[in-house]
Amino acid sequence: MKISLTKFQRFLLLFNIIFLASSALLFSEIKNYEFVIYGFFAVGITIAVTSLNSRFQFSNLTFAGLTILNITHQLGGGLMINNARLYALQIIPGILRFDKIVHIFGIFIITIALYELFKHHLKNIKEDWVIMIFLIFAGIGIGVLWEFVEFIPVMTLPETGVGEYMNTIGDLLSNTLGAIFAATYIKVRIFSKSRKNSKQ
């Protein structure tokens, strides 16, 4: 199967391979197996997007966004600040941690990728709000799968940094916000631009 990638996308693919392989080795060395597991899932998602690109032509935004997500996710679990993981860093004390920003951004990018995956099936739907609701729920669904992935280390490893019930609820709320932001971005930037071009 021929995989069509731009030079920029090839660069990002190579970077992801090197970065994820290096982080997996590092996490194995320090016995942080939780993020070794996450790294395998990140590799799987990167391979899936790359292999599907010749058919669906994912945007550079999707490739760059997934790269940033891979970096922030692995650094979040490996980089220590004041004897605590970067993921625990309080951006707004008591309200917003670095962890939640990664969830919001991650589902934002994944929801955009889902739109690019399904856009040929959605083009005949005239009502923007129908597409937006579909994308929001699709993004939330991927967010739920994300939580399932985070649950695997909880069930298989003696200790993880996943957190408790409130952390899971906070993750799901952050995922929902990410999906809403992505649907709004698609409505404002992509749909509006498409209509403008069709009138010219």
Q: Is residue 24 part of a domain?
A: yes
Q: What is the pLDDT of residues 147-181, one digit of tens each?
A: 888 888 777 777 666 667 788 899 999 999 999 99
State phi, psi for 57 to the nearest 5 degrees.
50, 65
Answer whether 0.85 is exceeded by the pTM: yes
Q: Is residue 38 part of a domain?
A: yes
Beta bridge partners of 97: 90
Q: What is the pLDDT of residues 84-98, one digit of tens each?
A: 888 888 888 888 999
192: domain range? 7-199
Per the structure, the count of domains in the chain is: 1
